[in-house]
Structure 1
Amino acid sequence: MPTAIIADDERLMRDQIRLRLSQAWPELEILGEAKNGDEAIELVDQLQPDFTFLDIRMPGKTGLQAAQEIGGKSHIVFITAYDEYAIQAFEQGAVDYILKPAEAERLRLTVVRLKARLSSAPTDMSSMLTQLAKQMGIATKPVYLQWIQASIGQQLRLIPVQEILFFRSDEKYTSVQTAGYEALIRKPVRDLAEELDPDLFWQIHRATLVNVNAIDGITRDMRGRHQVLIKGHTEKLEVSRSFIHLFKQM
């Protein structure tokens, strides 16, 4: 059976779309509903629906931002009151768009288009959606790593990035230090620096990234080198000259 989720911050709109879809395509199974973009992304990852109905404007992550993160995991149908923007999205790869309020006749046309897409792979519209969001005055944010999969001995652990105090690389591995343990990954600091939120993690050395919230202060050693002090940890992290400007405001 074909499957879908519906994301709209208006409960009545979700109910209406669910009803109209059940009438136009009884075989379509609605797996879940979301009130915002963040919930929609989670549902897509968990349920892997064939189709995702996204309201363009929602609190938190908008439908456009959610579609960027969903990428090619699900066919996108936009729900919107902004006809001109939806048409642009449709032309660039979205399966279709539904104008509020959802009209039964228009939804039947949408169902025809959905059925035609079932046998094809979803389109990743990330770059187009960034430009469309700018036109609509909706800010889009880069998608940063939220979890790190690291090894502790023979065990793999999924670590939230907020819990990580710092990363430090040697020639082969990168150490992932939390308040309670150390883990190892193979990804170098230069790659992590591009994938982590720069407002949360500062690169202070070519081989070191530190969580801003874990910084207890900065000091100098006997040779005049700057070192970062870590909260609740005895480790001192050297700051290279090219990154000392980060601490001018402290």
Structure 2
Amino acid sequence: MPTTRYKALLVDDEAGASQRLALLLSEHQIITVAGSVRSVGEARSFLEVQQPDLIFLDMEMPSQLGMELLPDLPEKTQVVFVTAYAEYAVQAFEAGALDYLVKPVDPERLERTLERFLARRVGRKRSSQPENEEEVLLHSYPENQESQIIRLKSVHWIEGMQNYTRAKVKGQETMVIFRRRLADWEALLSDESFHRIGRSHIINLSTLRRTKWISRDVSELFFEGIKEPLVVGRSASTQLKALLQNG
């Protein structure tokens, strides 16, 4: 199935900032930079011809504030404010922005913004097509400049590895590495199927098929379609037993 590509418009009076952002976005197959303009007026002219899915909008430009463009945006278009000042964050969210990014844009922070965009975009589709869509997340492969859309419900478990995590995903032979901590996953995962057990794991109870209690200190967890079990220690086993008993 071909990857859905969403159109983005960059609005920034600093050409260098737009060029850098366009370069970062080129690493994500789901995004096509449809245009780059340097003022609110030019953005309005662009919107008369095209309707982008996503706009990266500079908060402050010499002639006008980026927020002055908001009344002219199509309903489906989502806005990410780009600013040199972190204190604008509250103002951005009060204006209904999807997210805000501080210059110079960090690649990992941009990746999370795109995850949020996808989740909200799919959520809108789900309201009219509830059987066909579900929450998604974005995983990037910097070495070959590709991105992969992963369905949250296809994640069996997530294991914390200091400043990064790895996940066992349905259909993937090897573990998928993510540049985020386990605590970041907890904030992202609102689905009641996901639970943290012990210090190092989050598991998807909806795909857990069997549990083997080896001893008081060790348990083996078997997930749908996975031959090799996830082995966890005493703390995780105790918390899992409590979850299963209360469930």
TM-score by length of 1: 0.45
Larger radius of gyration: 1
TM-score by length of 2: 0.45
